[in-house]
Amino acid sequence: QKEVEQDPGPLSVPEGAIVSLNCTYSNSAFQYFMWYRQYSRKGPELLMYTYSSGNKEDGRFTAQVDKSSKYISLFIRDSQPSDSATYLCAMSDYSGGGADGLTFGKGTHLIIQP
Amino acid sequence: DAGITQSPRHKVTETGTPVTLRCHQTENHRYMYWYRQDPGHGLRLIHYSYGVKDTDKGEVSDGYSVSRSKTEDFLLTLESATSSQTSVYFCAISEGLSYEQYFGPGTRLTVT
């Protein structure tokens, strides 16, 4: 049973569109949520992190957590070709125990068409 | 990639040879991790360290060993490389086990 599900895509949208990326999870203990952006042949880069439920905004990016539905989202407004990348979600229960630390989704490949 | 370097960045080696990958950090973070990333599998944790000489296994540790003799360096060793270990290897660091992690630029390893 996979703990974190993420549609691999590719998701292709025109420049300027609003993009919605999502992850679902099964572990109700998760309370710390992150989004990473990974360009081709580069390391993942931390984009956003949130604690518990609610929204967090940073420029064109908004992270949203709905713990009741076990569902997290990343919205990108006014999408640009430079946003084309793979986006990975990650989460943890903050317990500090176990070998896993963070649990990652497999990533969604996003393509912004000029 | 700030404060984290990996070496080598690319390596081609033959089956059966030993290989050591190095991760170096300048952030003085306590936790360091080694992941491999493969198509269809995402990031998988190999080993992690929670301090000098303190390490533990991750999800896919078979065939790999690690060492950490200094806070800033974390080494990953493939004792006898196999073709199934062809992958991209990422090092990551964090202040705590369940905190956000910061990744290095990766090492692309090909075992022929």
- Looking at CA atoms only, how far is residue A55 from chain B in angstroms? 18
Q: What is the mean pLDDT of residues A76-97?
A: 88
Ordered alpha helix ranges (H), chain A: none
Of A3-12, A17-26, A90-99, B48-57, give the lowest mean pLDDT range: A90-99
The domain segmentation of chain B, as residue ranges, is 4-106
Residue A52 pLDDT level (bands cut at 50, 70, 90): confident
Cβ neighbours of A41 in B, within 8 Å: 106, 108
Range of the domain at A96: 4-113
pLDDT: which is higher, B76 or A101 = B76
Q: What is the mean pLDDT of residues A64-87?
A: 96
Identify the pLDDT of residue B22. Answer: 98
Going by CATH, does the domain composed of B4-106 fall within 2.60.40.10?
yes
pLDDT at A47 over 50: yes
Measured between alpha carbons, how far apart are the two ends of chain B, in Å? 29
Give the count of domains, chain A: 1
- Looking at CA atoms only, how far is residue B8 from chain A in angstroms? 14
Q: What is the mean pLDDT of residues B55-60?
A: 92
Q: A62 and A47 in contact (C-beta within 8 Å)?
A: no
Distances (CA, A) of B11 to A90, A107, B81, B85: 29, 25, 12, 12
Q: What is the mean pLDDT of residues B89-102?
A: 88
pLDDT at A2 over 80: no
Task: Residue A73: give its domain's CATH number.
Answer: 2.60.40.10
pLDDT: which is higher, B83 or A28 = B83
Residue A70 pLDDT level (bands cut at 50, 70, 90): very high
Identify the pLDDT of residue A98. Answer: 47
Identify the pLDDT of residue A93. Answer: 78
Cβ neighbours of B107 in A, within 8 Å: none
- Mutation target to probe the B interface, by most B beta carbons within 10 A, among A45, A104, A109 is A104
